[in-house]
Amino acid sequence: MIAERVLLVTILLALPAAEAAAFPGTFRAQYSLHAGDLEVGTTSISLSPIGDGRFEYITVSRTTGVASLLGKREVRERSIWEASDANIRALRYDYQRTGTKERQVKVVFDWSAGRVTNFVNGETWHMDVPDPTYDRQNHILALMRDLASGARPPRYRIADGGKLKTYQFRHRGRERVSTPLGSFEALVVERTQPGATRRTTFWFAPAFDFLPVQIEHREDKGSIIVRIRDVSGFEVGEGGS
C-alpha cells in the first residue's frame, strides 16, 4: 500500500554533520513525499542539543492526499545520541505509529553492558551489540560524517527490530538535483542489502553539511521520492542555488 511505503521511507531521513560541533543550535527541515506526480506525505525533522554533549532529533511523518484516503497515519520518531570520541553513540530510540496498525517501540542502549533492550508493544527482550552499533536513524549521521571526511561509505551495524542488521552503502558519484527548495550539487549514495529487491538512493548536499536533499526508495510495488522543500539553521554553501 502507498501509505505503508510512505512511512517506510521516513525512517531514512536524518540530519547533517560530520561531528557534533558542526551541528547548528537549532535545525529544522521539511520534505514532501511523492509517488509519481502525486504528493502522498510530508515529513518534518528537527534537531536540538539537550546538554552534556547529547542531541535529540525528532521526525514527524504524515500521509496526505490519496495516501490518506487509504489510511491516515502518523509516525513520530525520537533519537537521543551523544558524541563520544568523535563518534556518534546511540542512547535511546523511540518510535510511535498512530492510525491503523498502531505500534510503539523503544530501544535503550546500555554501553557498559554492551547490549540493547527492546520494548515493543508491551514485550521486552535484550540483545548483545558491538560498539559501534547505531539505531534506525542515527546511522545516517555516521554516513554523513564519513562523507564529510572524504571516506567512501562503509558498512554500518544497526539495532533494529530485535536484530543486528548490516547496511552497506555504495558511492555513485556526483550530480545536480532539483528540489522545491532549489537546485543542489549532491553526492549520490546507494544503500544495498544482499538478496534484497529494495533499493534506496540518497542525494547528500555539501551546501547543507551533507543533509539529504532527495531520497528515492524503490521496490517491486513502485517508488517513493522524498524532496526537501524548506530548511532553517543553515547558510547555503557552495553548490546550492
The DSSP result for 71-113, as a single string, is: --EEEEEEEEEEEETTEEEEEEEEEEEEESS-EEEEEEEETTT
Domain range list for the chain: 2-232
Average pLDDT over residues 126-139: 91
Lowest mean pLDDT among 16-30, 107-121, 155-169: 16-30
Average pLDDT over residues 116-134: 92
Q: How confident is the model at residue 14 (pLDDT cuts 50, 70, 90)?
A: very low
CATH class of 2-232: mainly beta
CB neighbours of residue 147 within 10 Å: 22
Cβ proximity of 206 and 197 under 8 Å: no
pTM exceeds 0.85 for this model: no
3-state helix, strand, coil in the chain (%, to 5): 15, 60, 30
Q: What is the pLDDT of residue 161?
A: 77
Identify the top-confidence range among 6-10, 65-69, 136-140, 143-147: 136-140
Asked if the model's pLDDT at residue 210 lies above 50, the reply is: yes
Helix (H) or strand (E) run with residue 6 in it:
helix 2-10
Average pLDDT over residues 158-162: 87
Sign of CA dihedral 157, 149, 14, 27: positive
Q: What is the pLDDT of residue 115?
A: 95
- 26-85 pLDDT, tens digit per residue, is 678 999 999 888 888 999 988 788 988 899 988 999 988 655 545 578 999 999 999 776
Q: What is the pLDDT of residue 187?
A: 95
Average pLDDT over residues 10-18: 41
Cβ proximity of 228 and 181 under 8 Å: yes
Average pLDDT over residues 12-25: 42
Q: Can the peptide bond before residue 132 be classed as cis, meaning omega within 30 degrees of 0? A: yes
Spatial separation of the C-alpha atoms in residues 173 and 171, rounded to whole Å: 6
Q: What is the pLDDT of residue 238?
A: 55
Backbone angles phi, psi at 165, to 5 degrees: -105, 160
Cβ proximity of 213 and 14 under 8 Å: no
Cβ proximity of 49 and 36 under 8 Å: no
Q: If you average pLDDT over every residue of the chain, what do you get?
A: 81
Lowest mean pLDDT among 73-82, 160-169, 230-239: 230-239
